Copies of this chain bind each other. A is one copy, B any other.
């Protein structure tokens, strides 16, 4: 039995307390920065545009010379230059008259609209002024941001390094995915799920080999990965006589949480060794998935300076979801046309239940299930 079950909220708080956003920095070319987070404010070295630029096809003119011009009383101008969109305005000219507001008779331009200064002109520095902060520290870079950086002549930027997340599969029964498991054996499959999520969530997974259920081996592998920003141990986290990971944490550092009120996902532990946060994830894959989403995702996002922005959809329940009071229930649902249909096979080991699901609904711990017809928020699986 677990000595004391913690709420998911408490476990998350303890874990986030241990996770400081990574402050290491790397400089990389802007074309590789999509999705990365700026480590410092980026100041523009230049004005954008760097010259007064025609914003339309037409004629560059001196705006003062168009005073009083209208359809009924055109003004005649002799100083004008034909310009195309994007062209530099010649010195002394400060506006562009559109083709439809003008008519060329020989060398004389008839203008039928009065222009204010800089009409149809992108002025120097109108978009960005030299010295302006174009993008701030902690900004997550998106494709148009890369174009903006490029536009002001910036080719490389400082971004935060991705948090390194050690992923340690444990278990005497585990064999490589390429093997055929004998009775009593199982393929090691959790790490492919964990590593893929770590990548999606902005981290850099570092996968260890499979570690046997043995106190010393677990100690050694934890020591080896103490330089990481987060250690995830998969399996051996419950209260059986070969579940060593939580005990090892207690011995090497601190064990803040062992057992959480999450179903599936109870055998989850949170601790730290020499300042490195450690999460022990259940060996059953669906339980591991629940812990990943509820604890590891916010932790990795925090380490990576990213907002925790789960994709959500509102939906109506097609059927009742039973739940265990006192526990947050992680219920898989399929989603179609605004209706969420619970995937009924609910065992923590039943991976195929996730394959059929589009996302999950959380049943709060103070409820005994959710009723048919209730409005729920579905978190879409990435």
Q: Which residues of B contact A193 (CB under 8 A)?
A: 143-144, 146-147
Q: Known: A144-B351, A178-B155, A351-B148. Contact between A240 and B85, CB under 8 A?
A: yes
Q: How many residues of A contact B (CB 8 A)?
A: 73
Per-residue CB contact flags for chain A residues 253-291 toward chain B (1 = under 8 Å, else 0) read 000000000000000000000000000000101100100
A142 to B352 alpha-carbon distance, docked (Å): 12
Q: Which residues of B contact A145 (CB under 8 A)?
A: 354-355
Chain B: CB-nearest residue to A348: B55
A144 touches B381 (CB 8 A): yes
Q: Which residues of B contact A128 (CB under 8 A)?
A: 351-352
**Is A150 close to B, CB under 8 A?**
yes
**Is A88 close to B, CB under 8 A?**
yes
A146 to B177 alpha-carbon distance, docked (Å): 11
**Is A248 close to B, CB under 8 A?**
no
A84 touches B242 (CB 8 A): yes
Q: Which residues of B contact A153 (CB under 8 A)?
A: 177, 180, 187
Q: Which residues of B contact A189 (CB under 8 A)?
A: 147-148, 150-151
B355 touches A200 (CB 8 A): no
Identical copies in the complex = 2
A183 to B142 alpha-carbon distance, docked (Å): 28
B199 touches A34 (CB 8 A): yes
**Is A365 close to B, CB under 8 A?**
no
Give the shortest distance, in Å, between A112 (CB) and chain B (any CB): 17
A31 touches B192 (CB 8 A): yes
Q: Which residues of B contact A146 (CB under 8 A)?
A: 192-193, 196
A127 touches B350 (CB 8 A): yes
Give the shortest distance, in Å, between A53 (CB) and chain B (any CB): 8
**Is A117 close to B, CB under 8 A?**
no
A286 to B151 alpha-carbon distance, docked (Å): 13
**Is A382 close to B, CB under 8 A?**
yes
Q: Which residues of B contact A30 (CB under 8 A)?
A: 192
The 9 closest A-B CB pairs, nearest first, are A88-B183, A143-B196, A147-B193, A150-B189, A51-B183, A144-B354, A88-B184, A147-B189, A143-B193
